[in-house]
Every structure is written in structure tokens, then in C-alpha cells.
Amino acid sequence: MSSYQTLDVGRDGPVLHIRLNRPDVRNAFNGALVEELQLAFREADQDAEARVVVLSGNGKSFSAGADLAWMQQQAALSPEDNERGAERMARMFLSIARCRKPVVGRMHGHALGGGTGLTAAVDMAFCSEDCVFGLTEVKLGIVPAVISPYVMQKIGAGRARTLFLTGERFDGKEAMRIGLVHKAVPEGELDGVVQKAVGELLSAGPLAVASAKELIRAVAPLTLEEAIPMTSKWIAALRATPEAREGMGAFLDKRKANWVR
């Protein structure tokens, strides 16, 4: 693994932990964090030993979003360089969403602006009930542009109309109600629900999990009729793989599959 200045990256067996590590500014993004987070997820994608990635933040908050001093610096650049910087941030979020490993988010404290975007980009997010979320960009005269696709996939365009336009803040319970997070719990229970989700993921076939992520992306834009040939080929190919034969055989033999430790 690479060494990082803005991230704390470590491994616990097959679980790769990526922690935002700028606690003095509530893990706000700057250029270094944007580049390093994208690199960390590219490396996670190619890491043969990692089966699950857990994204969290050190300190009192998960992430307060973009560092405003850095945003002002970006705005002062030439239009071309300003746009390239924005695209680098957009690709950071894409590297998380497209990671072939399942990505579990652990959110606490504040997850504002880009922090809410990271919450939307992971596969499943868990938060403390008092975690503060918000698409607060309009309060600063900007919009949640590069994170908008991920947020709208999770909460829908209808709810986005209110949250994007008002910039209002909301807590973890509301984040769960609108579908931004999978579960909101008291902070003392947060590690437990994250560990349970990780355990469930590790009990599943790793190639099947990666395939399931791709299946969602492929099927989402299709009509029911259009999905038939694609999904028929998908399951036919997958159930003939060694992993599927092992999984079904283990179930019939009443034993653990060879990927379960």
C-alpha cells in the first residue's frame, strides 16, 4: 500500500480500513485528500487480499465536506484548471462508487456537503443517530454538483429538490428515513452494526458480491423486457463458475464455503 498524508489506511485480515485523517479541520477535503482518496480506492480495487473496504473518519467528525480555503484557491485558477480540479474531485467519488469491493461507510459527528456525498457513494452507510448531514452548498453560493448523481440515486430527485435548494441540515434518523444511510444507531452501537455488515459481506462469495454490484448498475436503466436477455445470460454464466459450484456444494453438504474463515 502507498503511504498517505491525509488518510490512515490499515488492514484487518480481509478488511481494508480507509480513514480520512485531517481531524483538525473535521476531515475536510483539500487537493491532497482528493488525490489520495482516489488512489486508495484504486489500490483497494486491485488488492487481492481485501474483500471489504470500510470508509470512516478520524476525530470528532466523518467529514465537513470541501475545505473552503482550498475551494477559494480553485476558484482563483484559470477556468481550465478550475474545471480540471472539479473533475478530479468527481473522479474521486467515482472511484468509490465503482470499487469492485463492497464499501461500507461509518459516519459520525458531521457529514456535510461532500461528506454527505461520500455517504451516498458507498454501498452501505451506517451512522450515529445524531450525525449531522446536509447538502449545504447553496448556503455558500454554490451547488452539490459532482455529488448530485450519487445523492439522487440514494434519495431520489423529489427529496433532492428540497435538500439541494434549502441546504437544510438533518440528523441520522432522517438520513435513514430518506434512504441515504442503511441504519442510524446510538453512537455506542455504531461499530457493532458496521462489524455485523462486514461479517455478512465476508460470508458471501467475493466474485458474486462484485458481480452483484455490477448487476445493479447494468439493470437499473432497463425496462423489464430489456432485462430478460441480459439477466438470463448473467445468471447462466455465473452459476457455472467455480465459486458458484463451491457455494452451492457447501450449502448442500452443510459445511462452510471455502471463502468463509
Q: pTM (2 decimals)? A: 0.95
- In CATH, what number is assigned to the domain containing residue 116? 3.90.226.10
Q: Hey, is 109 helix, strand or coil?
A: coil
Containing structural domain, residue 235: 206-253
Per residue in 176-215, pLDDT tens?
Answer: 999 999 999 999 999 999 999 999 999 999 999 999 999 9
Residues 12 and 130 in one domain: yes
Indicate whether 1 pLDDT > 70. Answer: no
User: What domain count does the chain have?
Assistant: 2
Residues 188 and 123 in one domain: yes
Yes or no: say if 130 and 185 are a contact pair by the CB < 8 Å rule: no
User: Is residue 144 in some structural domain?
Assistant: yes
104 grid coordinates: 461500507
Residues 198 and 211 in one domain: no
DSSP string, 180-232: SSSEEE-GGGHHHHHHHHHHHHHTS-HHHHHHHHHHHHHHTTS-HHHHHHHHH
User: Is residue 212 in some structural domain?
Assistant: yes
Helices and strands (DSSP H and E) totals, the chain: 10, 9
Per residue in 26-81, pLDDT tens?
Answer: 999 999 999 999 999 999 999 999 999 999 999 999 999 988 889 889 889 898 99
Q: Hey, is 71 helix, strand or coil?
A: helix
Residues 60 and 141 in one domain: yes
Residues 231 and 186 in one domain: no
User: Is residue 160 in some structural domain?
Assistant: yes
Residues composing the chain: 261
